[in-house]
Amino acid sequence: MHFVFLIFGIMISFLSIGQKKTIDQKVDSVLKLMTLDEKVGQMNQYNGDWDATGPITADGDKQNQIRKGMLGSMLNVTGVEHTRQLQEIAMQSRLKIPLLFGQDIIHGYRTTFPVPLAEAASWDLNAIQLSARIAATEAAASGVHWTFAPMVDIARDPRWGRVMEGAGEDPYLGSLIAKARVNGFQGKGLGNTDALMACAKHYAAYGAAIGGRDYNAVDMSLNTLWEIYLPPFRAAADAGAATFMNSFNTLNGIPATGNGYLQRDILKGKWNFKGFIVSDWNSVGEMIPHGFAKDNYDASLEAITAGNDMDMESRSYINNLSKLVKDGRVNMKLVDDAVKRILKKKFEMGLFEDPFKFSNKEREQHQWNNSENLEAEKSMAEKSIVLLKNDNQLLPLLKQKNIALIGPFIKGIRDNLGFWSYTWPDDSSRIVSAWQGIKNKVGSNVNLLYAKGCNINDTSHAGFSEAIATATQADVVILNVGEAADWSGEAKSRSNIHLPGVQEELIRAIYATGKPVVVMINAGRPLIFNWTADHVPAILYTWWLGTKAGDAIADVLFGDYNPSAKLPMSFPRDEGQIPIYYNYFNTGRPAKGDSDLNYVSSYIDLPNSPKFPFGYGLSYTTFSYSDIKLSAASFKPGQTLTASVVVTNTGKYDGIETVQLYTRDLVGSVVRPVKELKGFQQVSLKTGANKTITFHITANDLKFYNNKLEYNYEAGDFKIFIGTNSHDVKEASFALVK
């Protein structure tokens, strides 16, 4: 009898879902039908063992749990076939609530794009958005609903391996890129079959792990938190990111996963975020070794109280949350709120109407080999390559008779993709190595010579003599070095970020032949290569550029693309300078220059300045900047100040320049950084052409957090800087008056 009523109830509720109810009403009707255990089930997420031998999950128990409604989501299950199989099991559960499938679509899916840090170097928001759009389209066609991206952690420490997943050190640039990526992933909106739910992560301050050691504690002032680390999260929330992921780290003594200030007060409170928060992998359980929770029961209590809605893989919620409610420790309202947030996203995705909406073989097949996506990837890769040095205009190269291609990366295949990329057995033929790209470009009239020289992390010099002999026969040498593809990424912190092994020795040996040398550096982070930077005439930073890496590299080497990228992170001279970033605070004893060492704030053995500053990147052409013209010497809140410069292409090539605007608030109630990026514009100029670039500044652009954490501007004197990077700028002054 009871059973009949239940079925009737479910039918009524689901039927009425079809009528004109708001999503919130639909969510409420489903929630009403759910038992406490089913609610907790929605808050539970498991890994799918997609790389295990079984077709979906080797763990039969997980399938049973899906059948019992004890699971709301899975990660790492992908492909139309696999996701369909699991969704079919979910449809055998009492309430038939569809599963959400999540995956780390960090820089592409079938088509691998440059690592996010490399893309950030493009400063091209449209291209970055398109990259996320394509990744979403491909992944959504393979049954994925949700990406654990964008990672919007600000990073000032290149030892931290995860710098490759983000947009670098600057909160302004980082916020714009966060928005572009959320918009890209979510496309025209959830519910479209090519939209993935975005997930801003890792909330919050994960990038400031002490010593750059992954998962480490974070300790920072609230001013730094609000001013530097939170803005990209705010931007992602404002852009409508469907979900957030909290983080592994403690922040000022409280694990982010159990941090009510971050999750309830700021994100769900002040920012009015309506999506749901997923934990990071086992981060609920990891509050035990942190020393914040006694056991998983306690950890669940802390996590739900703090606002964590879904538990990734720790099984803390599924094993404890119902009991916590029954014990009166957790108010049912907290559970209901979390479940509503999760169900709401499932409704918005359209999964209640059609749980198999993302399981379309044809769509998957089409996206599997989409040549337009590959073209967009190549273009993104070109925009990501940073020209660090080009003495005597060695680049672009002529198609000379003999070109030597040397180094452990020049024929690399998998090495072009970097961490968080997916490869398939058939995939290697699609990946264009530097060797292949150059070969395709130069044609058969050019004789390409090859020597590996050494391995990535070699101690042996055995390959040097062959490499030297090869270089000697060539007109020009292209030398491709760097760090291994899996040396940056999660849990890939390094205390030593110099070029690994004997690679810099190889560069010296090849340089000693007297041949012109171009060095290309593959990496997921800023590396240290001082000797190379001081001696070798031409250097390209080629990161991990993705599927069409070699084609993009060849276009740049031979001048079919004029480099336009700018560094999104400062490059240190030595690990001893880290953390290093352009927007630092002045001291009471600032050093006047790199050689001012006595009783000033400096190192006695190293300049303060980075090897390459934030925002730096050359072009094959040159740009000159006029002095800054201000519309007024002072302005008031409510008014707009305009600042303009004339930028002229003074070189021999057409090119793209990223004109950067920085300000400095000279005296504040709390001290202000020596420079803060406040705007940038990309301008494409034909050789000889010029353009007036105008920035509009209002008092709102000059706001900061005071010592009461109030966000406001203060009247006073300011400097304004406009230039080609954070160091080489024109300067002017203005005042903000009341």
Residues that bind ligand NOJ (CB under 6 A): 75, 104, 148, 201, 280-281, 490
Give the residue closest to ligand NOJ by C-beta: 148
Q: Choose the catalytic residue: 153, 157, 170, 280.
A: 280
- Chain length of the chain: 738
Query: 619: exposed, middle or buried (C-beta count within 10 Å: 0-12, 13-18, 19+)?
Result: buried
Using CA atoms, how far residue 210 sits from 222, 256, 578, in Å, is 16, 15, 11
Q: DSSP string spanning 272-286?
A: ---SEEE--TTTTTT
Closest distance between ligand NOJ and the C-beta of residue 19, in Å? 37
Active site residue 336: no
Closest distance between ligand NOJ and the C-beta of residue 420, in Å? 9
Closest distance between ligand NOJ and the C-beta of residue 74, in Å? 11
Closest distance between ligand NOJ and the C-beta of residue 281, in Å? 4
| Nearest CA among 471, 458, 611 for reference residue 529 | 611
Closest distance between ligand NOJ and the C-beta of residue 484, in Å? 20
Half-sphere exposure of 377 (CA within 13 A, CB side): 31
| Nearest CA among 658, 663, 661 for reference residue 681 | 658
C-alpha triplet 658, 415, 101: angle, nearest 5°: 85
Query: 514: exposed, middle or buried (C-beta count within 10 Å: 0-12, 13-18, 19+)?
Result: exposed
Nearer to ligand NOJ, 201 or 234 (CB): 201
Closest distance between ligand NOJ and the C-beta of residue 269, in Å? 24
Nearer to ligand NOJ, 74 or 474 (CB): 74
DSSP letter assigned to residue 125:
H
Nearer to ligand NOJ, 216 or 622 (CB): 216
Nearer to ligand NOJ, 202 or 341 (CB): 202
Can you say whether the dihedral through the CA atoms of 590, 592, 595, 600 is positive or negative? negative
| Nearest CA among 710, 95, 43 for reference residue 325 | 43
Nearer to ligand NOJ, 215 or 653 (CB): 215
Closest distance between ligand NOJ and the C-beta of residue 71, in Å? 16
d(CA 547, CA 436): 12
Per-residue 3-state assignment (H helix, E strand, C coil) for 610-679: CCECCCCCECCCCEEECCCEECCCEECCCCCEEEEEEEEECCCCCEEEEEEEEEEECCCCCCCECCEEEE
Sorted by sequence, the CB contacts under 8 Å of residue 507 that are 6+ apart come out as 479, 481, 499, 517, 519, 529, 531, 532, 536
Residue-wise burial string across 116-142, b where 16 or more C-beta atoms lie within 10 A, e elsewhere: bbbbbbbbbbebbbbbbbbbbbbbbbb
d(CA 374, CA 362): 19
DSSP letter assigned to residue 7:
H
Q: What is the CA radius of gyration of the chain?
A: 27
β-pairing, 716-723 with 655-665?
antiparallel
Nearer to ligand NOJ, 149 or 628 (CB): 149
Sorted by sequence, the CB contacts under 8 Å of residue 426 that are 6+ apart come out as none
Closest distance between ligand NOJ and the C-beta of residue 601, in Å? 35
Nearer to ligand NOJ, 280 or 657 (CB): 280
Nearer to ligand NOJ, 102 or 723 (CB): 102
Q: Which residue has the tokens 């704030």?
A: 601
| Nearest CA among 425, 492, 415 for reference residue 452 | 415
Q: Return phi, psi of residue 183, to 5°.
A: -60, -40
What is the CB neighbour count within 10 angstroms for residue 494? 19
Nearer to ligand NOJ, 166 or 453 (CB): 166
Query: 11: exposed, middle or buried (C-beta count within 10 Å: 0-12, 13-18, 19+)?
Result: exposed
Query: 228: exposed, middle or buried (C-beta count within 10 Å: 0-12, 13-18, 19+)?
Result: buried
Q: Return phi, psi of residue 512, to 5°.
A: -65, -15
Closest distance between ligand NOJ and the C-beta of residue 36, in Å? 27
Alpha helix positions (H), 208-295? 222-224, 231-238, 260, 287-290
Q: Treating both helix axes as pointing N-terminal to C-terminal, what angle do 549-557 and 434-442 enclose, rounded to 10 degrees?
A: 50
Nearer to ligand NOJ, 182 or 386 (CB): 182
Closest distance between ligand NOJ and the C-beta of residue 501, in Å? 28
Nearer to ligand NOJ, 280 or 458 (CB): 280
Closest distance between ligand NOJ and the C-beta of residue 342, in Å? 17
Nearer to ligand NOJ, 243 or 660 (CB): 243
Nearer to ligand NOJ, 150 or 412 (CB): 150
Closest distance between ligand NOJ and the C-beta of residue 338, in Å? 19
d(CA 28, CA 340): 7
Closest distance between ligand NOJ and the C-beta of residue 280, in Å? 5
Characterise 392 by phi-psi region: left (phi > 0), alpha (psi -120 to 50), beta (else): left
User: Which residues belong to the active site?
Assistant: 280
